[in-house]
Amino acid sequence: MKKIISVIFASLISIHTFCQMLPSGSAYSADDTSIAEEQLDMPVIYIDTLGNKIDTKKEYTTSTVKILDKNGVLDTPETSVQIRLRGNATLNCDKKSYKFKFDQKKNPLSLGEGPGKSWNLLANYFDSSLLRNMTAYHLGDMFTNMPYSVNSRSVEVFVNGSYQGVYLFCENINVNKSRLPIAEEPELVEENGYLVELTRSHSFDCFTIDSTQYTIKSKLSDDSYVKMLQKNYISQYMEQSFDALRKGNKEQIEELIDVPSLVDNFIANEICKNPDIGWGSFYICKDAGSKLMFAPMWDYDSAFGNFAIIYGFDSPYGINEYDITNNNANSNQWYYYALQNDWFREAVAVRWREMSEQINTLPDFVKEEAQKNLRSYKRNFDMWEPIKEYYYETNDISKLTEYQEHADYLSEWIGKRIKWLDGYFNSDDFMNGIFFDENCKPADVENAFAVTWFTFYDLPDFIDYESLSFSIEASSFNKGFFRRFLLRSGHKYKLSFDVSGASTAELKFIIKASEQYSDWNIEDTVDVTEEKKHFEREFSAEYTDYANSLELSISGSGTVNVEHLSLTEVENSGSAIKGDVNDDGKFNISDIVIFQKWLLGATNTELANWKAADLCEDDKLDIFDLCIMRRMLIEL
């Protein structure tokens, strides 16, 4: 829903290939009168593909759509649409998600603030409550400092006469005066509005800030030169904003960033405890002549305790660990740097108190929606059996056998989460920058693996996550991985652990980057003895890559004990990046421009890291250092 804001001037974890398949013969027929009679709990959408296949998200197919309201009254007569699949993980599931476009703007079911061409039907296949996305968008609507929250409602869907279950019918996120109300001037640069998504997936119109990829989702010019200027403008504005936040420059931050929207977005995402917060579907926008805003919220089917593959994310307690660490592929760097500042934490505490009364209504919202449309939700639940073997892992959700149990679980989880956050955001610990994990203990924010997906094949439950220790029989073990942690080019790291066990066993490790940097790795073999010994290995990363992994192999026979496994960045290693005078974690043309201005005595020009410019290593900065810097850039 669009918000009223004071001034408006003219951002999966791994894709899951396992999906529970629909049992043969379990689909309902559109002619089944017993179903039709019960169908009136919620609106119904009929899709006719006109004999065409809808089997890709890359191309649209001509189809028709007809929509009835919850009373069976025709809302949208049979209308031609262009339709395709949508989603990532759900592309592999029988219950597909869809995106469709009308030829002309419409507002079916009076769902939005106004008409639009693009609409989504979300299958919510991984969420057996079917309510997590709807609840997140309802939550986003409470926070008035974010300019827009997606309007949505549950509907039942038929495709070619076959009943497909309950879907979330919702707006597609785009720039539109009835949706995200920012300027839409695709032939202009600074006078245009921009919608940007943080995403680790490959996409078009991308740029990178400090190893994190962003893609522009709003319309750009068809003129290649203007388009280049537009990309340069928004990427440079965001990089400048990020750099100000990273350095904690409050005055500059407030000039560039709409801080109230950042505060609201942070609180809302903390309530959801979203594990994808630094991986994808994290949106940022900028209106013409305005500041950078953090909105809208999108994609929460794995939030609200619905994800147990990553340790601690199913718990309603503890701060979202991807908000307080900067070394994981899922880490959100905007939150990470914001939380370093006392004034930001104070703003969060104040806003929380302002919003508490509304936030506390969220558990009842879930209960009321589930009860109002219970027959429809149950019908979907009976049709699509919940996934247990993979997605939920050891989560308590896997024990639930009735739809009502899933709805109750979500409502209760949210209630516990709100209560915990209420105590935490009002505590001295939060104000002093002490961050608690799911066990209500200070989180180990320096240890990359403390918050990283840790998977040993066929052996998921033997790790002591608090100490990151384990014991295992060599004969029963092949390989295990820590996955998706961030290493930065030129930065120095230290891998360490204690090891003991049978001398007949051998432990080997290899740290390697993603496939695109397959020429780089660090590996070593460690002899095992009965006496515990400490192992350390320091190394420098050759590439900036967010998809590094640590692979452990144990061979031979006997028991091997590994304790206190740790991978940490060596203090002040950022200075190891030669030439990085603006201290943004990389060396490029921007550093040369700044250094040259500084040498010429330009006013208001400072070197954030002067040592990085001392390439002659003579403790002075002069034209000779600049010459070396230029040669370094040519050789890149």
DSSP string, 57-110: SSS-EEEEEEEE-TTS-EEEEEEEEEEEEE-SGGGGSSS-EEEEEEEEEE-GGG
- pLDDT above 60: residue 168: yes
575: confidence class by pLDDT, cuts 50, 70, 90: very low
346: confidence class by pLDDT, cuts 50, 70, 90: very high
Structure confidence at residue 574 (pLDDT): 43
Residues 145 and 262 in one domain: no
395: confidence class by pLDDT, cuts 50, 70, 90: low
Residues 489 and 356 in one domain: no
Residue 180 lies in a domain: no
- pLDDT above 90: residue 303: yes
| Last-in-domain residue among 125, 140, 171 | 171
Residues 535 and 589 in one domain: no
Which domain, by its residues, includes 362? 194-431
Residues 476 and 547 in one domain: yes
Residue 181 lies in a domain: no
Residues 420 and 524 in one domain: no
Distance CA 410, CA 405 (A): 9
Q: Which two tokens stand for residue 108?
A: 């079916």
Residue 439 lies in a domain: no
Average pLDDT for 13-25? 33
CB 182 within 8 A of CB 286: yes
596: confidence class by pLDDT, cuts 50, 70, 90: confident
Residues 562 and 586 in one domain: no
Residue 282 lies in a domain: yes
Residue 288 lies in a domain: yes
Average pLDDT for 357-361? 98
Residue 374 lies in a domain: yes
Residues 327 and 359 in one domain: yes
Residue 265 lies in a domain: yes
Q: H helices of 182-291, where?
A: 224-247, 250-256, 259-272
| Last-in-domain residue among 106, 140, 171 | 171
Is residue 545 within a helix (H) or strand (E), and if so which, with residue range?
strand 545-556
| Last-in-domain residue among 171, 203, 224 | 171
Residues 263 and 215 in one domain: yes
Average pLDDT for 438-449? 80
CB neighbours of residue 143 within 10 Å:
22
User: Residue 627: which CATH number?
Assistant: 1.10.1330.10
Average pLDDT for 215-232? 95
- pLDDT above 70: residue 220: yes
- With pLDDT > 70 as the criterion, what percentage of the chain qualifies? 87
Residues 282 and 160 in one domain: no
461: confidence class by pLDDT, cuts 50, 70, 90: low
Average pLDDT for 434-449? 83
Distance CA 76, CA 84 (A): 20
Question: Highest mean pLDDT range out of 177-181, 249-253, 349-353, 539-543?
Answer: 349-353
Structure confidence at residue 553 (pLDDT): 86
For the ranges 232-236, 251-255, 518-522, which has the lowest average pLDDT?
518-522
Average pLDDT for 607-631? 81
- CA angle, residues 153, 155, 156, in degrees to nearest 5: 165
Residues 465 and 598 in one domain: no
User: Residue 546: which CATH number?
Assistant: 2.60.120.260
Distance CA 46, CA 4 (A): 34
397: confidence class by pLDDT, cuts 50, 70, 90: confident
Structure confidence at residue 450 (pLDDT): 55
Structure confidence at residue 19 (pLDDT): 37
In angstroms, what CA-CA distances link 70 with 39, 40, 104, 168, 486? 8, 5, 24, 14, 49
Structure confidence at residue 571 (pLDDT): 64
Q: What is the domain count for the chain?
A: 4
Residues 204 and 301 in one domain: yes
Question: Nearest Cα to 172, choosing from 117, 241, 227, 126?
Answer: 117
Distance CA 350, CA 368 (A): 29
Q: Tell me the pLDDT of the chain averaged across its residues.
A: 86
Residues 368 and 412 in one domain: yes
Distance CA 235, CA 312 (A): 34
Residue 606 lies in a domain: yes
More confident residue, 143 or 565: 143
Distance CA 176, CA 117 (A): 10
